[in-house]
Chains A and B, each alone.
Chain A
Amino acid sequence: MQAFAAHFIFELRVGIRNKSLLFMNYLFPLSFYLMMGFIMPGINPAFREALVPGMVAFAILAATLLGMPDPLVNARESGIFRSYKINGVPAVSLIFMPAMTTIMHLAVVTGIIVATAPLLFDAPLPTHWGYFGLITLLLAYACAGLAVLIGVVAPNSRMTVLYAQALFLPSMLIGGVMLPYAMLPETAAIFAQFLPVTHAMNAFNGLAMGGAADFSPVWSLIALFVVGQLAFGLAWYLFSWDGRHTEQ
């Protein structure tokens, strides 16, 4: 337990020391939130209703899908994992620790968005805080799992970017963050069902923000949990300590 605590504190510090992680965890989502908050309600007043869940979802997508995989690939390819292995660090720590610390950073960003959105943009706050916290956590869990899975399977940094963008861009375009699910064409709506963020936005609307869900929000919660479980399970199964050896 002491070892996990020491590792957690170290990883938490890395998230602030490492400039690209600092950018992905804080600067990018918060800058995007401010930009969207100032611009979008003027163009589309209804966007204000979804500002808090939408920007929290965006922060999660950016910090996990864009921020987490590359350090994992670099650590594997540069022999850092091997050093960890020979010094007694278990694989489970290497898989879960970045996810846990990213979720901690996301909690701070979520706190900033929730605290400032009503004041700066007159955005409504969640009506059910418990559901809001649960959905945020489940989306972070699912996306962190997918991010770790990308980090485990991507052979190099270039492929990492490709895999991450293959999830991030559709999530942004048709996942309900920028455009409500109900407005999507039928084909896009079917495809959107495969994106965790679609289920998170649906659950936010139906359970946390006092609005109407487009489909069962309970199933959305289950879907997020299952995606997280499967992604972490697969990442654990496929994890390799370095680029040459594959045994755990």
Chain B
Amino acid sequence: MRAPDSGVLRVGGVDPAREQRQLRNRIGVQLQSAGMPASITPDEAMRLFCAYRAVAPRYDLLDRFGLDSKRSTQFQQLSTGQQRRLALALAAAHEPQVLFLDEPTAGLDVASRVELHDLMRELQSNGTTIILATHDMAEAEEMADQVAILLGGQLVAMGTPLEITATGAGLTKVSVHTRETTLLTNHHTFPAVSQRLVKEDYVVFFSADIGPTVAALIEYVSANGDELLDLRVERPSLEDRFLELTTKN
């Protein structure tokens, strides 16, 4: 833990600068690269680290985290996903109040990623606060109650995913696909639309007020004898907002 620039910092009610021993018992940390001795087995790692934390080994967590058949396998022979799950089990073994996860799903396949997300939700539902550091905005949007965006070590946005996306330019994406090429060929102006682009068979409009935009679009398509095949409305994603912030800063 680094010293704060200003203000008061408490983690689980503990001052990290003065009460480091208490802090270690209240937090769990999973690093992005789970550095473990190559020949250590999950059972041995659990026994060793729980002994240092003076808690009983939580072999049940290894089973729950899908490592039941790998408990005697050496760390070097585990897959990346299994190594991450082991690191997560070790970080959670002493039931910390706050769990720090550093890019836990980086480099994982889709199935392992979903599994790990489920485990994180399970820990969260058991009352553990999870601080998730990630570059994956979709993951942050899906998993987080509160998001903080850091740029160059400075906090530039904080709030729920909805709050953060709402504080941006607020342009909603309206993608329209019609049977004929009415929208593709005619550059008609629609209310509240500030930008238009063509993506495959879709025409994408960026609207500041989707009600009038969508109503005008439907009316225009109908009036020109065309038929609406698909219309999608997507609110700005966290990734869009992140890109907006990084461009601005």
Query: Do A and B make up one complex?
Result: yes
* A→B interface (CB under 8 Å): 2-3, 5-7, 10, 13-14, 17-18, 75, 78-83, 86-90, 93
- Of the A-B pairs whose beta carbons lie under 8 Å apart in the complex, a sample of 14, sorted by A's number, is A5-B51, A6-B51, A10-B40, A10-B47, A10-B48, A17-B74, A80-B35, A80-B36, A82-B35, A83-B34, A83-B35, A87-B53, A88-B49, A89-B49
Known: A14-B39, A75-B37, A88-B52. A6 touches B47 (CB 8 A): yes
A residues less than 8 Å from B36 (CB atoms): 80, 83
| A79 engages B52 (CB within 8 Å) | no
B residues less than 8 Å from A7 (CB atoms): 48, 51-52
Within 8 A of A (CB), among B45-62: 47-49, 51-54
Chain B, 1-43, contact with A by CB distance < 8 Å: what is the 0/1 string?
0000000000000000000000011000101011111111000
Chain B, 85-108, contact with A by CB distance < 8 Å: what is the 0/1 string?
001001100000000000000000
- A7, A88, A90 pick with most chain B CB within 10 angstroms: A88
Interface residues contributed by chain B, number (CB under 8 Å):
24
B residues less than 8 Å from A14 (CB atoms): 37, 39-40
**In the complex, what distance in Å separates the CA atom of A3 from the CA atom of B33?**
24
- B36, B47, B52, B74 pick with most chain A CB within 10 angstroms: B52
B residues less than 8 Å from A17 (CB atoms): 39, 74
B44 located at the interface, meaning its Cβ lies under 8 Å from any Cβ of chain A in the complex: yes
* Minimum distance in angstroms from A198 CB to a CB of chain B: 35
* Minimum distance in angstroms from B25 CB to a CB of chain A: 8
B residues less than 8 Å from A81 (CB atoms): 35
- B31, B33, B39 pick with most chain A CB within 10 angstroms: B39
* Minimum distance in angstroms from B86 CB to a CB of chain A: 11
B residues less than 8 Å from A75 (CB atoms): 35, 37
A residues less than 8 Å from B87 (CB atoms): 83
| For the complex of A and B, 6 pairs with smallest distance between CB atoms | A79-B35, A3-B51, A87-B49, A86-B29, A6-B51, A88-B52
A residues less than 8 Å from B34 (CB atoms): 83
Known: A10-B44, A86-B29. A3 touches B52 (CB 8 A): yes
| B37 engages A80 (CB within 8 Å) | yes
- B34, B36, B47, B48 pick with most chain A CB within 10 angstroms: B48
Closest to B100 in A: A86
B residues less than 8 Å from A13 (CB atoms): 39, 44
| B39 engages A88 (CB within 8 Å) | no
Tell me which of A18, A78, A80, A89 contacts B52 (CB under 8 A): A89
Known: A6-B47, A79-B33. A87 touches B52 (CB 8 A): yes
* Minimum distance in angstroms from A78 CB to a CB of chain B: 5
**In the complex, what distance in Å separates the CA atom of A17 from the CA atom of B35?**
18
- A75, A80, A81, A86 pick with most chain B CB within 10 angstroms: A86
| A82 engages B90 (CB within 8 Å) | no
A residues less than 8 Å from B74 (CB atoms): 17
* Minimum distance in angstroms from A125 CB to a CB of chain B: 36
| B90 engages A87 (CB within 8 Å) | yes
Chain B, 64-94, contact with A by CB distance < 8 Å: what is the 0/1 string?
0000000000100000000000010011000
**In the complex, what distance in Å separates the CA atom of A78 from the CA atom of B33?**
9
B residues less than 8 Å from A5 (CB atoms): 51
**In the complex, what distance in Å separates the CA atom of A7 from the CA atom of B45?**
10
Seed contacts A3-B51, A87-B53; 6 additional CB < 8 Å A-B pairs: A13-B39, A18-B39, A78-B35, A86-B91, A88-B52, A90-B52
| B52 engages A83 (CB within 8 Å) | no
| A86 engages B51 (CB within 8 Å) | no
| A82 engages B31 (CB within 8 Å) | yes
**In the complex, what distance in Å separates the CA atom of A202 from the CA atom of B24?**
48
**In the complex, what distance in Å separates the CA atom of A3 from the CA atom of B39?**
19
| B31 engages A86 (CB within 8 Å) | yes
**In the complex, what distance in Å separates the CA atom of A82 from the CA atom of B87?**
12
Tell me which of A2, A10, A83, A93 contacts B31 (CB under 8 A): A83
B residues less than 8 Å from A10 (CB atoms): 40, 44, 47-48
